[in-house]
Every structure is written in C-alpha cells, then in structure tokens.
Structure 1
Amino acid sequence: MGERQVEFRNVSFRYQEDMPWVLRDVSFTIGPDEWVAVIGHNGSGKSTIAKLMNGLLFPQEGEILVDGMPVNEETIWDVRKQVGMVFQNPDNQFVGTTVKDDVAFGMENHGMPRELMLERIKESLSAVGMSDYEQQEPHRLSGGQKQRVAIASVLAVSPKFIILDEATAMLDPKGRKEIMNTVHRVQEERDLSLITITHDLHEVTQSSRVIVMNKGEVWMQGSPRDVFSKKEHLQEIGLDTPFVSKLADHLKAEGVPLTREPLNHQELLEELWTSRSIM
C-alpha cells in the first residue's frame, strides 16, 4: 500500500529543543482524489503540517510517507514532484520576470526537457484561465491572478497532491471563490488530492473530509457535516461554524424540524421546503 497517499505516522514536531511541541503524535492518511480541509485556531499546528508534507520541515519523531516514500533529505526532490504547495502571499512565490518564466521555474528545478516544459506551461496556464498573460510581468497582476499563476506553477510539475496553505486568505470574497472553483475543477480533471489549510468556512464545507487540529493534536476528523454538527465542541476550542449552521440551530430551537445539518443555503432551503410540506 501507500500508493497515491500521504501518511503521517505518529508525527511530533517542535522548532527547537527547548520550545514546546507544535505537533504531538499526529497520525492521518490522505488518499487519492480526496479534498481534505485542515482547520484549527492559530497555533494549532496546521501550517506546520503543510510544511512537513512538502519537506520544508522534518519531524523529530514519527515519519511522513508520500506515495509510500519516507520524506527526508534524500527524497525531498522526489517528494516535491508529488506534493505542490501554494502559499498565502503570492508575491513571495514569484521568481520570473514574466508569467511564463515563473511557471517554467519549478520545472527547471526538476530538470525537465524544454519541449515538455513549453507544453506544460500552455496546459497549466490554460487550466487556471491565464493563457493570455504569458508575457505579463507578475507584479502587474491582481492578487487573484497572481494566485492563479502560483497554482499554474505547481500544476506544471504535475504533482499528485496540492496543498493550499491559507492560499485564499489575502483575496476578497470574489477572488477567493474564483480560486476555489479553479482549484476544484483542476482537481477533478487531473485526479489530484487537495489539502487546504484554511480559515474560510465556506471552503471547508466543500471539502470531502475535515481534520480539526487543536493544540498540536488531531482533535477530530470527519465529513464537514459531521464536524459542523458539533458546534458547541468547536466553539470550546475557539472555532466558528458557518452561518447556515447557526441559523439551522436557531430554527431547531424554534421547533422547526430539520433532518440533517445543512452545509449551505441551498440545503437549508430544501430542508425547510421538506419540513414545510410535512407541517
């Protein structure tokens, strides 16, 4: 086993010996084609998880396997072919003078042949709707456009896993929505696994599974519906729940029968229609 998955086995991590553990005995597996959202308050260890997956950090205890391959200094470049990462601030990711150079950079690092690179640049920019911007200078782009180019650069290397580490945090709601739609479409077209480290509850409701981190430990994991139905528990560890979830609670308190935890407005409306026709 181990093909097409990322596995954390009893991973513990701290930044220095005399510092507290940031992660403690963390274990989980992310399988093929999954969209897993990792949530938790600041300092819960979620961004550290992203950096460990990509070999930017190494754990002091436990091990991380990508595609059955242990992540360490020797395997790091192979790991990075499989696991691509998009960060919060796109400006820190740009290295090229044009969008095209920028998308080429990651592939150059992996020593890909030129013909393949040109083909991949076209494919990746087209996948994120940025084909017309090949010759543009990155700093002239909007925040959302920069994030699309950052995603294209990751796609060009053709990974099996893409991590978005708070990658929509600096965008406005419209830009955020566009990026998530882009990523979701690409995920389905390319059979990728997607790992999103996020504060955006709407993003979380779209995922297939949620890992809730608290004080460096996996506090809970399950479908978004399971997780958001435990509102009181989430609030205890300082996490919010979607507006629709709160509204559903108020309705239940007023005696409106709802059969399941709605994840979005559409589902809530359907629930209300159903309960209305029963009443």
Structure 2
Amino acid sequence: MATDQVIFKNVSFRYAEDQPWVLKNVSFSIKQDEWVAILGHNGSGKSTIAKLMNGLLFPDEGTIYVHGIEVTPDTVWDIREKVGMVFQNPDNQFVGTTVRDDVAFGLENRGVDREIMLNRIEESLKSVRMTDYLFHEPHRLSGGQKQRVAIAGVLAIQPDLIILDEATAMLDPRGRKEIMMTVNDLREETKVNLVSITHDLNEIVGADRVIVMNDGEIWLETVPRELFKQEESLREIGLDVPFTAKVTNRLKDTVDFDQQPLTQKELLDQLWIFHSKQ
C-alpha cells in the first residue's frame, strides 16, 4: 500500500496579519510515486502551497509533513534535501558558467564524490535530452532548453519529491510541449514523486490526480478524465479545458464515448470506433 509522502493538515496561511488568508484550512495528502497536479487561476493559492511544501514559507495554522518530517524552521534543511523545486524563470536558478557547472552546483554543495558527481551530471542531462549542451552557456539556450537544464540540476541531487512551480509559464507553445514530454518521460523512468503547479489544463493530462484550488480553498480533488467533463464549472472559476475536451463535450449527445478522451489521439481512436459501428 502506498504511503503518504506529503501531508497538509488544516493549513492556513497569509502573508501579513492585515492581509486576507491566501490558504484557508487546506488538507490533502500525496502518496508515494504519485504525480499530483495542483491547478488554479492566479491568486488561488497554488504557488503558496509549493513554497510551503519546500519550506520557503511556514503555515500560520495547521501542520505540513514531507516524508514524515514536519516542515518547521528547524527542519527546513532536512526538507530541502528531499525536495527539489523548479521555478517559473530558470535564469533565476542558474549559477554556473556552463551547463555542466550549473548541474554540478547542488552536488558540490552536498560534498558528493567527484566520480559520483560526473555520473549524476551525465545521467540527469541524458534524462532531459541535453547531453549535447554540456559546455554551452546557460543564458544562450532557448527557454525550453533552460528549463530542461534546471530540471536536470534538480534530478542530479536525487530528491524524493520534485515540484514544478509554473515551470512552463514563460515558455512558448513549443517549449511547453518539450517540458511536458520531459516530465512524462521522467515519470516513466524514475517514478519520482512529482507535484506540478499550473493554471494550464493541457499540462495535467499525465497526472495521477488533480487538486483544483479556488480562493484559497480546495474546490475539487479528482482525476483528469473526470475534471475535463466539468467545462462549465471550471470556466466559472477562471479555468478552461483543453481543445480535445471541448470537442468531446460537444459531441457527447451524438457519440457514445467509452471514456473521456485525454488526448487528440484518444479522441480520434474513439471517433473511429464509433464510426465503424455505424
């Protein structure tokens, strides 16, 4: 049975006493090897959850556990040994003059043996398809390439949990597609715990579970297939479903779908099956 690797228990948070609550009595858990997408419009509280999970912030009320350790100022460095975080802007994470130096930075800080370090650099860059850029300067890379290097830097330290905090927000459509392909590949290869924070429903297709935030509270916990059926309700809280889901929802009165298609290929396959039965 999978164990809870992250637990939020009645967590509330605000940035100052005279400001409104950003999170209000939020409770959820994330199991081992699970990919959970935390979804919501700007200001819904989703990025605050990421910062609380990594010890960048601490709750005003309630408790948070990451891999059995309560997140407090006293345990924050233990937590960060277990949690890796990739932010919106990869330029803010780069410290090395080359891709290799940058990926090595976290390992050097942890005193990792040189031979082990070189192997981890190679394996992590291979995982994100960036081995050909070992000696390139990070700032000369494309947006998608920069973000893949940032992910490699997190992978190299071998955390138990990786948080992607709006990691595709500053990328063009091609860059977003590259990063989501990388994320899906990583899940298949490493089975690492993954939390992705986003407002884009196109990015949650591969997630095991989705937590939808609205006005600092959990609006819904479900799986992507079920979420995509709720197009009208999602629009009311400032979110929009992917094009495939829109087409599916328009055709439901005339096509008997076996299940809600998640991808364009699934939609075409089911339409072909329906057509062949006519």
Fold-level similarity (TM above 0.5):
yes
Instruction: Identify if the C-alpha distance between structure 1 residues 109 and 2 changes in structure 2 by more than 3 Å, giving closer, same or farther.
Output: farther
Matched, 1:21 2:8: no
Distance 1:77 1:131 in 2: 30
Distance 2:73 2:231 in 1: 41
Distance 1:278 1:114 in 2: 62
Counterpart in the other structure of 1:269: 268
Report matched runs for 1:24-35 at 5 Å. 24-35=24-35
Distance 1:75 1:133 in 2: 36
Distance 1:267 1:127 in 2: 27
Report matched runs for 1:61-140 at 5 Å. 61-140=61-140
Distance 1:23 1:4 in 2: 21
Distance 1:231 1:136 in 2: 44
Q: Given the two structures, how large is their TM-score scaled by the length of structure 2?
A: 0.94
Runs of 4+ displaced beyond 4 Å: 1-4
The answer to whether the Cα contact below 8 Å between 1:212 and 1:221 also exists between their aligned partners in 2 is: yes
Counterpart in the other structure of 2:241: 241
Instruction: Identify if the C-alpha distance between structure 1 residues 105 and 251 changes in structure 2 by more than 3 Å, giving closer, same or farther.
Output: same
Please state how far the C-alpha of 1:118 moved relative to its aligned partner: 2.3
The answer to whether the Cα contact below 8 Å between 2:199 and 2:239 also exists between their aligned partners in 1 is: no
Instruction: Identify if the C-alpha distance between structure 1 residues 3 and 90 changes in structure 2 by more than 3 Å, giving closer, same or farther.
Output: same
Per-residue Cα deviation, 1:132-186 (whole angstroms, up to 9, x for no partner): 2222211111111111110011001101111111111222222221222122212
Matched, 1:49 2:49: yes
Distance 1:186 1:171 in 2: 19
The answer to whether the Cα contact below 8 Å between 1:5 and 1:67 also exists between their aligned partners in 2 is: yes
Give the fraction of aligned pairs with identical amino acids, expressed as a percent: 63
Counterpart in the other structure of 2:231: 231
Structure 1 unaligned blocks of 5 or more: none
Matched, 1:209 2:183: no
The answer to whether the Cα contact below 8 Å between 2:229 and 2:249 also exists between their aligned partners in 1 is: no
Matched, 1:158 2:158: yes
Instruction: Identify if the C-alpha distance between structure 1 residues 2 and 16 changes in structure 2 by more than 3 Å, giving closer, same or farther.
Output: farther
Greater alpha carbon shift after TM alignment, 114-123 vs 136-145: 114-123
Greater alpha carbon shift after TM alignment, 97-106 vs 115-124: 115-124
SS in 2 for 1:206: coil
Distance 2:268 2:185 in 1: 26
Amino acid at match of 1:274: I
Number of aligned positions between the proteins: 278
The answer to whether the Cα contact below 8 Å between 1:13 and 1:24 also exists between their aligned partners in 2 is: yes
SS in 2 for 1:52: helix
Please state how far the C-alpha of 1:2 moved relative to its aligned partner: 9.2
SS in 2 for 1:100: helix
Per-residue Cα deviation, 1:224-278 (whole angstroms, up to 9, x for no partner): 011111222212212111112111222234x333343222222222322333344
Distance 2:252 2:128 in 1: 41
Instruction: Identify if the C-alpha distance between structure 1 residues 223 and 83 changes in structure 2 by more than 3 Å, giving closer, same or farther.
Output: same
SS in 2 for 1:229: coil
The answer to whether the Cα contact below 8 Å between 1:30 and 1:36 also exists between their aligned partners in 2 is: yes
Amino acid at match of 2:41: H
Counterpart in the other structure of 2:180: 180
Amino acid at match of 2:245: S
Instruction: Identify if the C-alpha distance between structure 1 residues 278 and 68 changes in structure 2 by more than 3 Å, giving closer, same or farther.
Output: same
Structure 2 unaligned blocks of 5 or more: none
Greater alpha carbon shift after TM alignment, 6-15 vs 232-241: 232-241
